[in-house]
Every structure is written in C-alpha cells, then in structure tokens.
Structure 1
C-alpha cells in the first residue's frame, strides 16, 4: 500500500482533512494558545551549515556549506511548571534565499536509532532532539536532529533559565542527520542570540510540512495528520505562514 505524500500547494481539502482542521481549531480556541508547545521563548539567531560528512544526502541546503539568519523557538510540549520534565521542542526557521524559509521542528528524544523515533520527556534543554518521523530525501529516508554541543554554555532546565543563558552568552546546538540505523552525523550548528518579544513569539507560525528545502519532502499518514492539525491551529490563532522568509515579527 502506498503512503500519501503531503503536497502543501494542493488546492481544496478532503472531508477528513477539513474535519481534522476544525477539531484542531476548536482545541486551539479552548486552550487560547498554540495547540502544540504553547509555552516557549523565541530568539534571533544563525544557522551555519558545514556540509554533510560522508555520503551526501542529495539536499543542497544540508550538503553545501553556508550561513543563514534564523528564527529559533525553544518550548515545552504540555507546559509543565518550571524545570519539571516535559517533551521539549526546538523550532528553527532557516531564512534561506533563494528558496524561501526552511522550518525544522524537532522534539526531545533518545540518541540511539530506536529512540530517535520516540518523543521523550526530559529536564534539560541541551540534549538530543529529533524529527521523530523521517523525511524523504532523493537517496534515502533521513532523520534530522539537534544535539548538545559540549563546548556551548548550558541552556538550563526551564524557559526562564533559557532566557538567562542567551542574555549571558550565545548557546549553540549541533545540527545532524541520520539514517534509520546509522549514527547522527553533524552537518552544522544553531547559534541562539537575542530573545524576541512575547508579541513576536505569539505571531510565529512554523510549517514543518510546507517549508522544506528542495530535495526533502514529508510523506505518510503522520505527516498528513500533522499538516492538517497545524493548519487548523494557525487558523484559530489568526496567523499565517510567511512564504518569503521574512525576518519581521510575523515569521
């Protein structure tokens, strides 16, 4: 049985898609915040790509060295208090030009192959994050992730500590790719800079399905479900995804 490929440019929506979007919108309105990862802090920053060690992925943005401005958000999945464990989230918008923005959304997970497909609660914001579901590249399926940088200032155990860490220094996380069974391969780093305002954070709207670089695509039932729920949640919040990679308050 073939799996569906999510095509963000398609017009219209099926009855199941509309039902999922409406349910997501209702839940978002009831929560009065993002449906997923409502509590977070956003930052300006930079993404540096070193290039892919070993066999290339076939995705130019990952294989070719470059430096890009970025918008970064660190968050807690269910908003547990303070430093309590939670499924932590990292969202990175790479403002690539040309080609438009690339939105990478990853959740706290384990490092080994079997655990990188499982969202795992933890306390510390510095650690392993994974896309959980693989993305399809020209040559293979890929997991994208972010790893702790042992030489970086620590990000702490709460969103308050995250904000304090970025005021004192410029923390970093390592970007990496992996196959289904192979180890993580570092391809670059995320540098976290100045914190954005609460208003800017509320206006952020990431699209991990539609905003992918050339050569990467999301496929399968989970990607379809994620696409529909994000669409419904964005509509209820009254925000839209910016297609031009704007660095303004509404990215």
Structure 2
C-alpha cells in the first residue's frame, strides 16, 4: 500500500468512523454478521505451469486453518445473498494468511463482482486483486465435484461437517486467464458461537510474503474492517497461536 496523502488519510479516517458507528448500531460485524466457523485444514499442492511468485502458493504444504462461511446482508435462508468464505491459514510463528472470498461467477468478466446466490456452492472469488511484483492475480475457492454439497443454509453447512469433511478447491488466476488449482480447503468440526463472534480477519495486513492487496477495494476493506473491529473490541491475531483472536 502506498503512503496516504493528507486527503486520503482523512477519507480513510472518516470511513473507519462510519464503519465503527454502523457496527455499534448493528451490534455485530458490519459485513457478513451471520455465519458459522469451523476448524479446517488447507493443503497446498503447488500450481501447475508457471509459478505464481508467492512462495506459500508455489510450494507444497499443509496448514491448520479456521474457516468461516457467512451470509452478507443477511437475507433469510434460501434467499439470494452475497455468500462469504473466510479462511485463516495458521503458519506457526509467522503472521497468518487471511483469505476472504465472496460468491461470484468463474468467468473472467464476472469474477471481479460479488454475485448473490442461494446455495453455498460454486465459485467464491477474492473480488479484490493482489499484486505479485508487477502482475495482478485473483484467488478463489471452487466447488469440488467429489465433495459433499453444503446446501442452502448455514445449518445445512454445519450438518455437512458432521457427516463428512466438505472440501473446496483453492485456485489462482490472472485477470483474463482460467482458474488454476493450487490446493484445497477442508472443513472440520464446528467452533463455538462465542469463537465465531470473536473471530476477526485482516485481509489486507495478514498476507504472505510476495502478495500485496491492490486496487480501491483494498483501501475500502482496510478502513472498513479496521473500524468494524474497533467497534467490536476485536483485535486481529497476528502471531502463531491457533487461537482465533486475543
């Protein structure tokens, strides 16, 4: 992120205050307040073809994870909504990697836009782009055709984790290229409602080496999430503990 000018800094502070105020009025997260959280595991296979330039995505590895699925507005179960998936990959003593993706289409023209959907299935795109050197990439989770269906409601998602280990495919793409699988996200046991309420993500600060958030959406997310966290009294975990917040 570039050093903000005076006007940009003032606009960011105003956005943070607005986000904090709305969060207090809502008495919950400003964005995606209704969700369920799960223990999980992320397995990185490495990408076929040219490397991404991000060591964590190019080298095979396995990471314990915290996974949250959520409804954006939220609308009642079964109604269209912007569905969300947040994945925190714990990396020992290093800062965790927080990946936030939203329901979208897989096609290049539509992967940049959130798309309301009825079911917890299909493509979830980062919407926000990332910089790797001079290149831009997008990250996503895609439906695994061999995995159990997650259903229409958060209750359906929880039920699926009690009978199976649902999986999604982790993928990377350029602005116009196809999605290239790099790994998978597996869901495990559901976490408590208290843990879900306390969980706080930082999709801008919690990134692996070589990956930088880019574009105006990154700026909006940085200040919106910061204001919402401040109003909730939540502090992002940046150490290596498997605890989801402190």
Normalized against structure 2, the TM-score is what? 0.95
Aligned length: 243
Rounded to whole Å, the distance in 2 between the matches of 1:183 and 1:176 is 9
Rounded to whole Å, the distance in 1 between the matches of 2:214 and 2:94 is 20
CA RMSD of aligned residues (A): 1.5
Which residue of structure 1 aligns with residue 214 of structure 2?
219
- Alignment pair present for 1:170 and 2:168: no
State whether residues 40 and 159 of structure 1, in contact with CA within 8 Å, keep that contact through their aligned partners in structure 2. yes
Runs of 4+ with >4 A deviation: none
Rounded to whole Å, the distance in 2 between the matches of 1:148 and 1:100 is 27
State whether residues 93 and 239 of structure 2, in contact with CA within 8 Å, keep that contact through their aligned partners in structure 1. no
State whether residues 6 and 223 of structure 1, in contact with CA within 8 Å, keep that contact through their aligned partners in structure 2. no
CA change 1:6–1:67 in 2 (3 A) is farther
- Alignment pair present for 1:140 and 2:135: yes
Deviations 1:112-140 (A, max 9, x none): 00000010011111210001121001252
State whether residues 128 and 215 of structure 2, in contact with CA within 8 Å, keep that contact through their aligned partners in structure 1. no
Deviations 1:157-211 (A, max 9, x none): 1001001000111000000000011000000000000000000000100000000
Partner of residue 78 from structure 1, selected from 61, 73, 78? 73
State whether residues 58 and 139 of structure 1, in contact with CA within 8 Å, keep that contact through their aligned partners in structure 2. no
Structure 2: which 5+ runs fail to align?
none
Normalized against structure 1, the TM-score is what? 0.93
Deviations 1:210-241 (A, max 9, x none): 00100000123221111001000000001000
Larger fraction in strand: 2
State whether residues 26 and 236 of structure 1, in contact with CA within 8 Å, keep that contact through their aligned partners in structure 2. yes
Deviations 1:16-59 (A, max 9, x none): 22111110000001111100000000000000000011100110
Structure 1: which 5+ runs fail to align?
8-12
State whether residues 175 and 190 of structure 1, in contact with CA within 8 Å, keep that contact through their aligned partners in structure 2. yes
Rounded to whole Å, the distance in 1 between the matches of 2:242 and 2:179 is 30
CA shift for structure 1 position 6: 5.6
